[in-house]
Amino acid sequence: MNYLVTVLYIVAFSMFIYGLMGLTGPKTAVRGNWIAAAGMGIAVIATLIAIRHTGNWGLIVAGLLVGVALGVPPARLTKMTAMPQLVAFYNGVGGGTVALIALSEFIDTDGFSAFHHGESPTVHIVVASLLAAIIGLPRTGSTMLQRILASIPGINGVRWWELQNFAPFPGEVRGQPTERLRFAEQMVADWLAATPELAAIHPLSATQVDEESILLHNMFCGALEFRAPIPSYVAWQNTTDFRNAYADLRTTLKFLQWQEPSRRGKPWVLKAPEHVLAPEALLETFPDCKVIVTHRSPLQVVPSICSLWYTIQRLMVAQPDRLKIGQANRSRWGPTLAKFTALRERIGDDRFIDIGYRDLLKDPVGEARKALAAVGMALDARGEAAINTWLEENSRDQRASHEYTAADYGLSERELENDFASYIRRFITA
């Protein structure tokens, strides 16, 4: 049936154009009007077919009758000398129709509910404000920091099940994403059944917030080579402008905020290693946000990332090549952090907050307070209690230790020190 509707719209559109062509001369004007009118009739029929399941047929019929009552008498009774006035009248009616449609959409998106609470409706419909974006290499404590910040009442984070399917399933009632949640929970179970060691590397949970890498991957932005070696993709990405991808990310955040009314007016805290690949796009798209950079020595981080990539690739191939994974991470992250360090030196540190891995493990509440103070928020007793609850429920001792060595992936400390020399000097040994 959807194909029929599409075909009818194409036919109607073609008839509109052909009818307008007929209006260019007095001999063909009458025929052009009839053709365009027939096209409009077909468009109306297509629309009625598209909304055939609606329960508002009474209102639809009433609207058609009002339109006929307003349109037919002037068309039949107006003299040719008054034609400009008739055209002006029809234009006014058309403009009023557009205004009513806009009002209907405004009401449908719960815009008026904001007025009832004395708030600005644009917060719920237009604004997706970003409190902070956490960036840096993977395996630097960024997941922990994002989750403790998102546990604070009043702060939004994108949950893992939303990342898998951010749009509602067909027939889903807004605010009742049961099937999407069930789908994500099954994904987590399948992944952990196939590679149990993944739980030691990244604490997977369908209901916890997680990195929006998946959303960026949908836009071909990010380290997609963690799934398989794609050298040509890396070369393409190094010269690509990802501002459009980040504009889409902001639109997705608005969409998620619209789906769940409890998120209204609350800022987001994002986190993804991909942001360090396109920091300029992030900063330009969210000009008011602060950027939290988590730091850890690349000598520990890079082998850990290699282990993560190896584990994920095992979901797709029987025996990933460890040496290729090691070299891919050297070539990806070394130049990336060198460029990021140069960016910091060029634009200054005003928008950046640096948090060390060891400091975060030693005093997570204190580092969260530091991050919030930098964005103009105070950590109150309620927020601190929420962080402590999260820490108790997600203790690292609940998971197996993550075992890896640089030698497993053909890496040496000397190579890594050379690859990340400028970053280590600026942020690790400084």
Residue 95 lies in a domain: no
Residue 98 lies in a domain: no
Residue 18 lies in a domain: yes
Residue 91 lies in a domain: no
Residue where a domain terminates, one of 33, 63, 84: 84
Residue 21 belongs to domain spanning: 2-84
- Residue-level pLDDT at 107: 55
Residue 112 lies in a domain: no
Q: Report the 3 state secondary structure along 126-168.
A: CCCCEEEEEECCCCCCHHHHHHHHHCCCCCECCEHHHHHCCCC
Residue 113 lies in a domain: no
Residue 204 vs residue 81, higher pLDDT: 204
Are residues 234 and 336 both part of a single domain? Answer: yes
Where residue 91 falls among pLDDT bands split at 50, 70, 90? confident
Are residues 408 and 307 both part of a single domain? Answer: yes
Number of Cβ atoms within 10 Å of the Cβ of 320:
17
Residue 103 lies in a domain: no
Residue where a domain terminates, one of 56, 84, 112: 84
Instruction: Report the chain's mean pLDDT, rounded to a whole number.
Output: 87
Are residues 217 and 354 both part of a single domain? Answer: yes
Q: Which two tokens stand for residue 59?
A: 């209102």
Are residues 273 and 151 both part of a single domain? Answer: yes
- Residue-level pLDDT at 111: 45
- Residue-level pLDDT at 430: 54
The model scores a pTM over 0.75: no
Residue where a domain terminates, one of 64, 84, 104: 84
Q: Which H/E stretch holds residue 293?
A: strand 290-295
Q: Which two tokens stand for residue 84?
A: 């400009």
Please say if the pLDDT value at position 400 is more than 70. yes
- Residue-level pLDDT at 118: 43
Are residues 74 and 151 both part of a single domain? Answer: no
Residue 292 lies in a domain: yes
Per the CB < 8 A criterion, the answer to whether 51 and 24 are in contact is: no
Cα–Cα distance for residue pair 370/355, rounded to 1 Å: 9
- Residues 252-270 have a mean pLDDT of 88
Are residues 233 and 156 both part of a single domain? Answer: yes
Please say if the pLDDT value at position 55 is more than 50. yes
304 by DSSP, 3-state: which?
Answer: helix
| Type of residue numbered 104 | S
| Type of residue numbered 335 | P
Number of domains in the chain: 2
**CATH number of the CATH domain containing 325:** 3.40.50.300
Are residues 38 and 165 both part of a single domain? Answer: no
Are residues 170 and 37 both part of a single domain? Answer: no
Are residues 218 and 268 both part of a single domain? Answer: yes
pLDDT > 70 in the chain, percent:
92
Are residues 144 and 65 both part of a single domain? Answer: no
* Digit-coded pLDDT (tens) for 274-283: 899 999 999 9
Q: Which two tokens stand for residue 340?
A: 């990021």
